[in-house]
A and B are shown apart, each in its own frame.
Chain A
Amino acid sequence: MQACYAIAPGHRMQWEETRQGWVILYPEGMVALNDSAAETLRCCDGRTPLHAVVADLQSRYADSELENDVCALIAAALQDGWLRRR
């Protein structure tokens, strides 16, 4: 939970006007993010430790499952290579 994460080099997260949603772009591909995933990944700026990201999200959304969801998302994003540990 002390670790900081950031979008991996060669990847870019951006808002897509035509889709009205956030996506991550990488060579020859793109993933569309749902709102909560986008919200979480936008907090991964490479400087904020994960516990602070969770606290920040919890202060905005009262959700008891939030921490588990965030950890699952981070694990999946690391696995797929869009996220890098700093």
Chain B
Amino acid sequence: MLAELTYSCPLQCPYCSNPLQLGKRTQELSTDDWLRVLGEARALGAAQLGLSGGEPLLRRDLEVIVAEARRLGYYTNLLTSGMGMDEARIAALRDAGLDHIQISFQADAAELNNRLAGSDSFRHKQRVARLVKAYDYPMVLNVVMHRHNLDRTREILDMAAALEADYLELANTQYYGWALLNRDYLLPTREQLEDAEALVQDYRRRLGERMKIYFVVPDYFENRPKPCMDGWGRVFLGIAPDGSALPCHAAASLPGLELPNVREHGIDWIWHESPAFNRFRGEDWMQAPCADCEERAGCFGGCHCQAWLLSGDACAADPVCSRSPAHEVVVQAVQRAAASRVEPHPLMRNTRNSAQLQNRTGDLQKETG
């Protein structure tokens, strides 16, 4: 289960996958709501708990939530930008039983990191990374990769090695939420990706077991979609800050999908009975070319949110798939990125831009598609 505790965040990454409507803090679930939800999901067999956001450290009840999660037997993983972490906080979290911490970096150097994050955060992140080690946690660094930092892959790998990271995740941007809006700014070229991948191979060989490196190729550059969440309603349950239950990270963007809310329903009903979690369960929803495709058991038709965002039909094949009639959209976006020299400016993820987007008439679909 992924608990998105708050959409508040001191950073403003333009690749953020949070929804464009960030919502208000006053709509966030209370501590008691979260504790109840944890108990209900655990009873159904959930064992992994990701605590994310926004920036989860902004919730002052984080320690209480962690302690209850641990008591229930969850494996707890904090996904943080590091902002709001200090020694007292990490000590309290460890006492509460937190199992694992993952820190995100934007780049290897202060200037680029801070420009991408829209805030002066780099040095603090480095201090937090050291604290994590000092408190006996494996150090897991996560860097979201895109056009503006892929050419720094070597430096990023060096930084992670210098910090003695145990794991480094180089995750290429997924184009949802703010990232989709900023796609032309973020999409890399194929050469950038290939160079980065070659470097990763080289460092893997040299560092061996000392630092494990993950490199996830963005699906835009492949011919088959990623199996979204390993199948709709099969393993993933996300809870948004306002209590909406999400069958997938980007589910809030799907029209006509009424997300059940934990304030009104128990997790048992939400998981087994709710229309939203049954919407794409199994294969009945499939149409051509997925319905009789021999690969459908492996990819489940790909991502429905991406199908909707790029083709206007959530039941269509994910346009990343070369069999999709809308595949051209993806091919063109990649070509456009390769050809463009002038760098468009990103729209930073913050509440001001979020409010402006909601006031603006016109369809985002048209701008981004």
Contacts and interface: CB of A to CB of B under 8 A. Distances in A.
Interface string B82-116: 00000000000000000110100000000000000
Given A26-B75, A27-B100, A28-B77, A19 B45 contact: yes
A24 to B, nearest CB: 10
B99 A10 contact: yes
Contacts of A10: 99-100, 137-138
Interface string A1-35: 00000000110101010110001011111100000
Contacts of B140: 27
Interface in B15-44: 43-44
B75 A25 contact: yes
Nearest to B42: A18
A28 to B, nearest CB: 6
Contacts of B325: none
B165 to A, nearest CB: 13
A54 to B, nearest CB: 27
Interface of B: 43-45, 47-48, 50, 73, 75, 77, 99-100, 102, 136-138, 140
A16 B100 CA distance: 20
B76 to A, nearest CB: 10
Interface of A: 9-10, 12, 14, 16, 18-19, 23, 25-30
Contacts of A19: 45
A14 B73 contact: yes
12 contacts: A9-B136, A9-B138, A10-B138, A14-B73, A16-B73, A25-B47, A25-B48, A25-B75, A25-B99, A28-B50, A28-B77, A30-B75
Given A26-B75, A27-B75, A28-B50, 7 more contacts: A10-B99, A10-B100, A18-B43, A19-B45, A23-B47, A27-B99, A27-B100
Contact of A12 (B44, B99, B136, B138): B99
A16 B77 contact: no
A18 B45 contact: yes
A27 B138 CA distance: 10
A66 to B, nearest CB: 30
Contact of A27 (B43, B45, B73, B77): B77
Contacts of B137: 10
Q: Kindly list the 4 A-B residue pairs having the minimum CB-CB distance in the complex, ordered from nearest.
A: A25-B75, A18-B45, A10-B138, A27-B100
Contacts of A28: 48, 50, 77
Nearest to B75: A25
A25 B72 CA distance: 14
B250 to A, nearest CB: 19
A70 B84 CA distance: 46
B151 to A, nearest CB: 29
B295 to A, nearest CB: 25
Nearest to B166: A10
Contacts of B47: 16, 23, 25, 30
Contacts of B100: 10, 27
A9 B73 CA distance: 17
B25 to A, nearest CB: 28
Contact of B44 (A18, A26, A29): A18
B72 to A, nearest CB: 10
